[in-house]
Structures are given as structure tokens and as C-alpha cells.
Amino acid sequence: MGKLEKLVARFLALPPEVRFSDVTTLLEQFGYIEVRSRGSHHTFENADGDIIVVPNKKGAKVKRTYVKAIVKQLNLEEWQNDTK
């Protein structure tokens, strides 16, 4: 199992919190780039124009609500099933 598969598995477990660096790594692997950072909110966009906004307060981790939204928008469950 590679790094990306492990990261996807961690997100699918829906932990209470994840590191912001894990969020950015996952989003970048799925073709998203950070297009704007305004205050504590970071906006990521892919080539299709899909947007994901993730907060990053200093020292705080990303909460489960945002993890769920990322899992749903990236369709990680289906992606994981396709890679098996």
C-alpha cells in the first residue's frame, strides 16, 4: 500500500481531526491547487472548477466536518475500490 492509499484510508476512517498538511497533500494528489488564502480559509480548485475551502487556524487541525466534505467531493470510497 502506497502513501496515497494510506492517506485515503485515513480520511475514509473519518477521524475527528487531521493535519492541514495531510489535507493539502491529498488535494494536490487529486489535482487541486491552492488558488487563494484569505484569513484562515484556504481555497483549492481543480481544472474542472470544483472548489474546496478548508480552514487552517494556527496550531489547530482540520475538523471531521471538512474531512467528510473532502471524502464526498473527491469520491474517495469509489477511488479506493477502483484501486483494489
Q: Which domain holds residue 20?
A: 3-83
The whole-model pTM stands at 0.91
- Asked if residue 57 has pLDDT above 90, the reply is no
CA–CA separation, 6 and 4 (whole Å): 5
Residue 49 neighbours by CB under 8 Å, 6+ apart: none
Q: How many helices (H) and strands (E) does the chain have?
A: 4, 5
- CB neighbour class for 48 (10 Å; exposed up to 12, middle 13-18, buried from 19): exposed
Pairwise CA distance, residues 41 & 72, whole Å: 19
CATH of the domain at 10: 3.30.920.30
Our count of domains for the chain comes to 1
pLDDT band at 69 (very low <50, low <70, confident <90, very high): very high
| pLDDT value for 41 | 93
